Structure 1
Amino acid sequence: MLDSSKSRPPVSRTFSVLLVIAIVLAALNLRPAVTSLGALLGPAIEGLQMNGFIAGIITGVPPLCFALLGPLAPKLAGKRGPELVVMGAMGAILVGILLRSVAPETWTFLLCTALALAGIAIGNVLMPVLVNRWFPHKLGLVTGAYTTSISLGAAVVAGVAVPVNEALGGNWRVGLAAWGIPALAALVVWLIVFLGLRSQIAAKNAGLKREASTQTPVGPMSKNATAWWVAVFFGMQASVAYIFMGWAPKIFTDLGVNPASAGVLLAIIMGVGVPLAFVMPSLASRFPHQGPLVIINGVAGMIAIAGMLTIPVQGAYLWAVLLGVCGSNFPLALTMIGLKSRTAAGVAKLSAFGQSVGYLLAIPGPFAVGALHEVTQSWTPSIWLLGTLIVLQTVTGMMAGRPRYVEGEHRIEIH
């Protein structure tokens, strides 16, 4: 874990609280631009006269953008500082959301969505960096706060986007634009933080540069064994999460659950993850090896998969709860990013590498599940695939959870 106490100038209690609020608000904005569009995709497709191919691109592009744009974050933060870059990311999310709500045609809509996704990608990577930078001795607590906020931002917006749209008159453009309000709030708070902490931020940047000049440079993450385990673990858990977010209602419905209950099951899967997103980082930071937590989550997921294969309808609510427990590997993976590095540079590099590679690995999962069902006309092979992914995330998570750091001797030598 990063220890930056020497380079951390004193911050008043008021601004410490404000920093936590700013981090939480930023985290709340890392999913609404995606989930609000998913909820209102039907009206948007009709209004813009999109074809099925373009609609497919929109639904599949978020993880691709996260993977491709995330690596820019450490470079930008190294030059300007993560606080200013996160403030810019909130601005990009705000402008992207507002501009796409008035986009006159499909490609403009896509470009504006990509702008919002770029801000989200930067925010994804820099959240662990900010937590380690300002709260290295409260890593679990503050990480829990922001991962809970990410989960809330996804779950709440998915549930209320349609009612909010209807309350605003039923115009999908207004319904999408409304989610710029949280981004505006985050931008204002980050502006206050940046202006109020200018001297501390400047002193911290100078201190970290001095430390960096005396430390052994962090090597490329692509040659680092710990970084690869973290990245693959992140990818496997993200793949399972995207599969269930996209396919769970359809799978349960086809297995015999009525459609209304199938929607409730998805809400349970996502809802169970909200309190666990707060608890898991605190637990993870207390253990030198996070493997036992990974095993608990993996066992919960495998029991759910076994249940879906044998008694899917009768135990559906139990399986949903267990899948929600399994989904707490997301905050656990984010916490590992902060725990597996001793330096600010290490956290930034590991966050960018782990999330970028992870999101790339997650992309094929939802498509593979759909393709297997299309070919076999049965959900059984797809559920077996899910079970395989849960086993893989458990194995890779155990390896990632070992007491190792990306700095040091644990390198993969490539000749």
Structure 2
Amino acid sequence: MPHIRRNATSHAALMVMAGLVLLALNLRPAATAVGPVLGEIRADLGLNATTAGVLTALPALCFAAFGAMAPIFSNRVGPHRTIGMALVAMVAGQSGRLLVDAPVPFLLLSVITLGGMAVANVLLPSLVRRHFPSRIGFITALYSTALNVGTMFAGLFTAPLAMWLGGWRQSMWIWVGMTVISCVPWLFLVSADRDHEPIARHAAWGFRHIVHTRLGWLMALFFGAQSTQAYTAFGWLSSIYVDAGASPSFGGLMLGILTGLSIPFGFLVPMYVSRSERPQRALWLFGVCGITSYTGLLFAPLTLPWLWAVLLSIGMSGFPYFLALLGRRANSSDGVAVLSAFSQSVGYLIAAIGPFLFGALRGLTGDFQVPIIVTMVLFLPLVGFGLAASRPRLIEDELIAGSND
């Protein structure tokens, strides 16, 4: 939409910004709302342990599979129409799974929901580059914060809402309603596309090109390393405190500190990355804080429990760093789209292994010492891949060089 990107009125710019923020706000609740009411869902639908395990693994798998398709859709029908279709899938999938009473339809509709979320998730950074090329850091900070707010709200309020409203289905209709609201700005954007923007029919670059680039793999490995840390902490931090002698409610409180602090960090980190000439210095802070946190959890988990949660939240700030770095490693919205798609698709596959590995090590050894040590050591590749990906270069240069070979 060139007329919005280059000669935007304040109204149009605000419409685009609202669309990005509302979209980001709704890219996590449909996934994170399942965990707090998983017991009720299992009892209501008759899910066995295996099916429940598949359900909890679906987000990472769908984000990997469908995220890879996002640039293809975008180049066929345009980015705004692609987001519009993703939102339709999110609303239809979420609504449908609240109306079924059998495991298989529930899983299939969950795949549709997560597929829409995955496509929109990948295209968000490219839309920021497309509409706000001179304000990438600030807009990235806004939508990164919205992502974290949506994640935290769904985790905190789904179970209480289920209790107050009379069931898990009723509570999840709240998140459907929020997704419907987020469609409003995109109706305007898609309508404006119809008159002003031709549809690209051929993609300049795809996976077959970026798979041969060094930067593509560095970004993918960095994203996978930081997502592994995040998935592991979200899944196991509370249990670590409980195993050390704390109550389940205290463990939940520490997890709340971890997720709550991701909101301000989600805003501050992209702003720092966009304004600093050497943003990679933040990676050393993430590594030191993460390793210090797990050291404390290993040797004295209940001595300064809140400090370990705070430090771990800082250590997990690689996600907003990655989002901001996408805008610095490409000079076009198409470049950002293909880099985002490849990095996140590969990265989510890597990240899906983390919680299972942690749990397997816990089962084999009988305590948390070995899994904590392994998770601590995994901060080293996170910092290493992040430092390498942060060196000044553009994905377009590597793609062009590869096409000339």
Q: What is the TM-score with the length of structure 2 in the denominator?
A: 0.94
Looking at structure 1, the residues matched to 398 and 327 of structure 2 have their Cα atoms a distance apart, in angstroms, of 18
TM superposition shift of 1:74 = 0.3
Report the residue type matching 2:327 in the other structure.
G
Match of residue 81 from structure 2: 84
Confirm or deny: 8 A CA contact 1:290 1:402 kept in the other structure. no
Q: Which runs of 4+ in 1 moved over 3 A?
A: 4-9, 196-200, 216-219, 409-413
Confirm or deny: 8 A CA contact 2:24 2:146 kept in the other structure. yes
Looking at structure 1, the residues matched to 273 and 120 of structure 2 have their Cα atoms a distance apart, in angstroms, of 22
Match of residue 38 from structure 1: 35
Residues 125-176 of structure 1 show CA distances to partners (whole Å, capped at 9, x for unaligned) of 00001100000100000001111111010011100111212222x2222222
Which of 173-182 and 78-87 deviates more? 173-182
TM superposition shift of 1:123 = 1.0
Match of residue 65 from structure 1: 62
Tell me: CA distance 1:383–1:353, structure 2 relative to 1, closer, same or farther (3 Å).
Answer: same
Tell me: CA distance 1:6–1:225, structure 2 relative to 1, closer, same or farther (3 Å).
Answer: farther
Looking at structure 2, the residues matched to 324 and 5 of structure 1 have their Cα atoms a distance apart, in angstroms, of 39
Residues 16-415 of structure 1 aligned to structure 2 (within 5 Å): 16-168=13-165, 170-196=166-192, 198-200=194-196, 202=197, 220-409=209-398
Report the residue type matching 1:75 in the other structure.
I
Report the residue type matching 1:315 in the other structure.
L
| Partner SS state of residue 179, structure 1 | helix
| Partner SS state of residue 408, structure 1 | helix
Confirm or deny: 8 A CA contact 2:222 2:386 kept in the other structure. yes
Ranges in structure 1 where 5+ consecutive residues have no aligned partner: none
Looking at structure 1, the residues matched to 193 and 82 of structure 2 have their Cα atoms a distance apart, in angstroms, of 15
Residues 154-213 of structure 1 show CA distances to partners (whole Å, capped at 9, x for unaligned) of 011100111212222x2222222221001100112211232246445x06x67x99xx98
Residues 307-345 of structure 1 show CA distances to partners (whole Å, capped at 9, x for unaligned) of 111211111100000111112111111111121012222
Looking at structure 2, the residues matched to 86 and 306 of structure 1 have their Cα atoms a distance apart, in angstroms, of 43
Confirm or deny: 8 A CA contact 2:44 2:101 kept in the other structure. no
Confirm or deny: 8 A CA contact 1:148 1:277 kept in the other structure. yes
Confirm or deny: 8 A CA contact 1:300 1:322 kept in the other structure. yes
Report the residue type matching 1:179 in the other structure.
W
Confirm or deny: 8 A CA contact 1:94 1:180 kept in the other structure. yes
Looking at structure 2, the residues matched to 223 and 59 of structure 1 have their Cα atoms a distance apart, in angstroms, of 32
Ranges in structure 2 where 5+ consecutive residues have no aligned partner: none
Tell me: CA distance 1:84–1:260, structure 2 relative to 1, closer, same or farther (3 Å).
Answer: same
| Partner SS state of residue 378, structure 2 | helix
Tell me: CA distance 1:375–1:20, structure 2 relative to 1, closer, same or farther (3 Å).
Answer: same
Aligned residues with identical type, % of pairs: 33
Confirm or deny: 8 A CA contact 1:290 1:398 kept in the other structure. no
Task: Say yes or no: does 1:11 pair with 2:14.
Answer: no
| Partner SS state of residue 242, structure 1 | helix
| Partner SS state of residue 42, structure 2 | helix
Confirm or deny: 8 A CA contact 1:225 1:412 kept in the other structure. no
Looking at structure 2, the residues matched to 290 and 65 of structure 1 have their Cα atoms a distance apart, in angstroms, of 31
What value does the CA root-mean-square deviation take over the aligned residues?
Answer: 2.3
Confirm or deny: 8 A CA contact 1:36 1:161 kept in the other structure. yes
Residues 70-129 of structure 1 show CA distances to partners (whole Å, capped at 9, x for unaligned) of 111001111111111111111111111110001120000000111100011001100001
Tell me: CA distance 1:16–1:8, structure 2 relative to 1, closer, same or farther (3 Å).
Answer: closer
Looking at structure 1, the residues matched to 41 and 247 of structure 2 have their Cα atoms a distance apart, in angstroms, of 27
Which of 114-123 and 280-289 deviates more? 280-289
TM superposition shift of 1:219 = 7.3
Report the residue type matching 1:393 in the other structure.
L
Confirm or deny: 8 A CA contact 1:66 1:118 kept in the other structure. yes
TM superposition shift of 1:290 = 2.8
Confirm or deny: 8 A CA contact 1:24 1:145 kept in the other structure. yes
TM superposition shift of 1:385 = 1.3
Aligned length: 403
TM superposition shift of 1:5 = 8.7
